[in-house]
Amino acid sequence: MVVSAAAFIVVDWGTTNRRAYAIGHDGGVIETVRDANGVLSVARDAYAGEVAAMRARLGDVPVLCAGMVGSTRGWAEVPYVPCPAGIDDLVAKTLWVEPGRTAIVPGVSAGGARSDVMRGEEVQLLGAVAAGLAPPDALLCQPGTHCKWARMEGGRIADFRTTMTGEVFALLRHHSLLGDFLKGDVVDGPAFRDGVAMAGENTLLSDLFGERAAVLTGRRDAADVASRVSGLLIGSDVREQALRPGEPVHILADPALGQLYASAVAAMAAQPIVIDSHAAFLAGITAIWDKIHDR
């Protein structure tokens, strides 16, 4: 492996994790490094040293960062770009924290009746379109701790909304009476699909407590609770979007989580299309990098 072949380094810097890529002059990934040094683990005065360590490993080249590193908890706060937002808008507001050496891509905000923000997801959304993984006008879904649902128009982020689906599941697993029954793996099977169907009853809060009661009274197997509760939450999330029959939904996710959302989308009679989220991110950040050098 020839690390010196890197043209630049990309860092997807999240709240709890980060992933760094050394990108070659041909646009290919030379090396990927993933660790748990998200912004919650890094002091504000330590970012320069963290990036220097990345250069020591991946190459002494410019670094382009995206994600929570540009938040109030990160290296420097980079103001949000309001919707509608495209690659050119992000490039115009990119902040160089080390002139000519290290830059941070801004996040995106949505206004109107409901305020919303994202950092990092915008790169994936725009990259999915730039790479031809999704059409310029589409509904994109990014499952995760905070699931993003974005409407793309003309290749730009026209509007979006965030749901706390993954975080609610984590809170239930670690801090609720249901926790003892949520230790198992979540799989796309009968229990998960039962949960998705239950979401149509619009009785989420009582249904959650009912899962515990059903186990205690011997009506349900405790091993199925994690999958059923996940289905109930994801089903409620998908149902909120009021999808039209046959409507394509492009899902940017890893295979396991993508399959769960695809199953719930299909249950609503819409058309799920799973996209590689890492490929979308790399396409987006590379497009931003190319635009920066065209300026």
Residue 181 and residue 191: Cα distance in Å, rounded? 13
| Greater pLDDT, 5 or 76 | 76
Q: Which residues pair with 109 in a beta bridge?
A: 82, 117
Residue 113 is predicted with a pLDDT of 78
CA atoms within 13 A on the CB side of 255: 0
The DSSP code sequence of 139-204 is EEEE-SSSEEEEEEETTEEEEEEEE-HHHHHHHHHHHSTTGGG--SPP-SSHHHHHHHHHGGG--H
Residue 147 and residue 163: Cα distance in Å, rounded? 5
Look up the CATH number of domain 121-295. 3.30.420.310
Residue 1 has pLDDT above 70, yes or no: no
Residue 11 has pLDDT above 50, yes or no: yes
Residue 166 has pLDDT above 50, yes or no: yes
Average pLDDT of the segment spanning 145-170: 97
Q: Where are the domains of the chain?
A: 121-295
Residue 225 is predicted with a pLDDT of 97
Residue 64 and residue 20: Cα distance in Å, rounded? 10
Average pLDDT of the segment spanning 43-53: 96
Residue 242 has pLDDT above 60, yes or no: yes
